[in-house]
Amino acid sequence: MTLGQPQERTRAAGECRQCRATCDKLIEPAGCLAIGCRFLYTYEDAITGGRFMGCVNKVFGGEINVDLFLLAEAGRGSYGGIKMTGRPLPQCQFTVERAYEGDGPEYECINRSFFDMAHEHSESIRAFDLRNALT
């Protein structure tokens, strides 16, 4: 890379930047626990004694403090979502969050497939989608 040139940012699997709404996919760790995902790991830090969990496939990149996660789930009812950083697996439960709301065509979604699960995986289930069929 030559000095003075801006470094190009690689778009993550969970991002859509095709309109001004700027959408991100969020993985719900509670969903990973609920389905007993075999790719969810936990470990105990020998130095601090803290327990952490994460995704072996790095569908979400961060590691979550298990005690704080359980406290949030018990108190508010939901820990919430973590930004998707890798390719989701067919069983991954996610939501889409829009960063900006606005009026006009520049805020209208032009990438409707972003809200769908990945269909290219061999274990993917193609859901019946009524979004465009109902009038």
Residue 3's pLDDT band (cuts 50, 70, 90): low
**Quick check: is 39 in a domain?**
yes
Total domains present in the chain:
1
CB 90 within 8 Å of CB 116: no
**Quick check: is 133 in a domain?**
no
Q: How far apart are CA 113 and CA 71, in angstroms?
A: 35
Q: How far apart are CA 56 and CA 5, in angstroms?
A: 35
Whole-structure pTM over 0.85, yes or no? no
**Quick check: is 127 in a domain?**
no
Q: How far apart are CA 100 and CA 94, in angstroms?
A: 19
Residue 127's pLDDT band (cuts 50, 70, 90): very low
Q: How far apart are CA 86 and CA 90, in angstroms?
A: 13
**Quick check: is 126 in a domain?**
no
Q: What pLDDT score does 6 carry?
A: 52
**Quick check: is 122 in a domain?**
no
**Quick check: is 4 in a domain?**
no
Q: Which domain holds residue 86?
A: 15-115
**Quick check: is 3 in a domain?**
no
**Quick check: is 32 in a domain?**
yes
